[in-house]
Amino acid sequence: MMRVRVQRIESFRDLDGNLGKRIELVQEETTPRFAIRPVSEEAKMVQDMVRVLQQQIPLLNIQSQIFMPKIILFLTEREYEELGVDFDVNQIYDVELSDHAIKFRKAY
């Protein structure tokens, strides 16, 4: 079982001209981030400097905002309706892969 978040939903047309949806799911972090307390005074000073630089220059913090898609679904409108899952951006789902099937369950 894995936990994913809907990153993006886009409309598209397939080769036959049918409307469809492209749904991009990224893996949600299950381990909480926590601050590592530096042992030495030098390490504490470096950590403080990095924190100040990240606040002053937002580009240094962009790495935490880039996500690699875990699953990308290309579904026609009919397939989307048959799947029976109403995907919304930023909604979190638990995904179970078993018995040659993918099951989506909304996480609460």
Give, as one character, the DSSP assignment of residue 31.
S
90: left (phi over 0), alpha (psi -120 to 50) or beta: left
Write out the chain's pLDDT in tens, 108 residues.
899 999 999 999 988 999 999 999 999 875 555 567 777 888 888 888 888 887 777 665 555 556 788 999 999 999 999 999 999 999 999 999 999 999 999 998
DSSP 3-state of 10: strand
Question: For the chain, where are the E strands, in sequence order?
Answer: 2-13, 19-27, 69-76, 92-98, 101-106
For the entire predicted model, the pTM comes to 0.65
Domain span at residue 49 reads 2-106
Alpha carbon distance 68, 80 (integer Å): 23
Structural domains in the chain (count): 1
